[in-house]
Amino acid sequence: MKAGSTTYYGGEQRVPLDAHAGPLAQPTLVIAYGTSSAPTPEQKVLQQLIGGETSVKWSHGSSALAQAAAKVHGASAKSFLLPYSDASLFGVVVTAPTSEGVAAVAKDVTAALKAASKASGEEIKRAIAKAKFADAISREQQLGLVQTAGPAVCPPLPIRKIQTDEQLFSGDIAAPDASFAALEKVSAESVGKAATDLFKAKPTVVAVGDLSVLPYA
């Protein structure tokens, strides 16, 4: 097998929701954008900028995604950033009790993604603080620990070249300070450029529910 760099293509998948799927199955829309590189500090800040999670109990939250979801009872819109060895996927998951609700929230989510490239300096500062906190907390959880230490403990070497323990355990685990320092260098301009570049790519869109109602890519 010949090694090569990862290529992101995007695309669309539409899946009807089975009427007998049960009460826990909700109409869902996933809007995502991929890059052929590991997550950047700008992407981490961008995730916190548009948000979706609330820091205050019993509150919808003040982020763009939280406000979008608050308009539809029972709806949720949350951002995510999935890291891979040489790629990343940034996006939003929208759910609601009805497909009509998902479609309504999706319009505001799209607007929030477009507006992210024009965020103010104050908004970026708050997003940086949240990104630092999220980065620190992730290292205390199993998934975050694996994502941080995994590439260092088991670097991607061809199987034939793994002969000694020194080769297997040859990586360096980045300290939190290094991540914080990178986040400190993020500016409104760099986040704006990252958002613009990211959203130029063809999105990956997955719609689950009433396909006659849910929007197309």
**What DSSP string runs through 19-83?**
TTS-TT---EEEEEEEESSPPPHHHHHHHHHH----SSTT---SSHHHHHHHTSTT-EEEEEEEE
**Residue 114 pLDDT exceeds 70:** yes
Cβ neighbors of 92 (< 8 A, separation 6 or more) are 30, 31, 32, 50, 52, 65, 77, 78, 79, 80, 109, 113
**Residue 159 pLDDT exceeds 50:** no
61 neighbors 54 (Cβ within 8 angstroms): yes
Mean pLDDT for the chain overall: 81
Nearest CA to 94 out of 215, 198, 7 is that of 215
The pLDDT score that the predictor gives to residue 147 is: 54
- pLDDT, tens only, 38-97: 889 999 999 999 986 665 565 566 789 999 999 999 999 999 999 887 788 999 999 999
Nearest CA to 154 out of 162, 83, 86, 36 is that of 162
Ordered domains of the chain (ranges, CATH): 11-209 (3.30.830.10)
Q: Tokens 């990956």 map to which residue?
A: 204
pLDDT (average), residues 187-212: 93
**Most confidently modeled of 11-15, 60-64, 141-145?**
11-15
Structure tokens at 69: 């979801």
Cβ neighbors of 73 (< 8 A, separation 6 or more) are 97, 101
Look at residue 16 and give its three-state secondary structure: strand
The pLDDT score that the predictor gives to residue 128 is: 94
CA distance linking residue 185 with residue 183, whole number of Å: 5
Q: What pTM did the predictor assign?
A: 0.77
The pLDDT score that the predictor gives to residue 1 is: 37
- Range of weakest confidence among 26-35, 147-156, 198-207: 147-156
CA distance linking residue 184 with residue 181, whole number of Å: 5
**Residue 17 pLDDT exceeds 80:** yes
Residue 168 pLDDT class (50, 70, 90 cuts): very low
The pLDDT score that the predictor gives to residue 208 is: 96
pLDDT (average), residues 205-217: 95
- Provide the β-strand partners of residue 11: 204
CA distance linking residue 51 with residue 79, whole number of Å: 6
**Residue 156 pLDDT exceeds 60:** no
Residue 104 pLDDT class (50, 70, 90 cuts): very high
Of residues 136 and 90, more confidence is placed in 90
CA distance linking residue 138 with residue 122, whole number of Å: 25
DSSP secondary structure letter of residue 120: -
